[in-house]
Amino acid sequence: MTRFIINDWNDESAWTDYGGQARTFLDVRLKAACPSLRPTLRKQLSRAILKRESMSFDLEDPKYIDGIKWFLESVGANVTIAL
């Protein structure tokens, strides 16, 4: 598993807000990266991320590391990845 750690947020480094569709985009990515995560927990995680909370979470499938990292950085997250 790969642990993502969102240290803080920087609005100046964000380059998109996905036109109000950010949670939908994030849910799709998390569903692919964490297939065993229940839908209610996945939605809670998406909401917490988009509320700009600092947190950590695990990805089950390492092939999604770059996509999730890119998404988080695009909305302003300062991310650390622990392999």
Q: What is the pLDDT of residues 38-65, one digit of tens each?
A: 999 999 999 999 899 999 999 998 999 9
DSSP single-letter state for residue 80 = E
Q: What CA–CA distance (Å, rounded) separates 24 from 75? A: 14
Q: How confident is the model at residue 18 (pLDDT cuts 50, 70, 90)?
A: confident
- Residue 55 CB partners (closer than 8 Å, separation 6+): 5, 6, 48, 49
Residue 78: predicted pLDDT:
95
How many residues make up the chain in this entry? Answer: 83
Q: What CA–CA distance (Å, rounded) separates 33 from 3? A: 12
Q: What CA–CA distance (Å, rounded) separates 60 from 74? A: 22
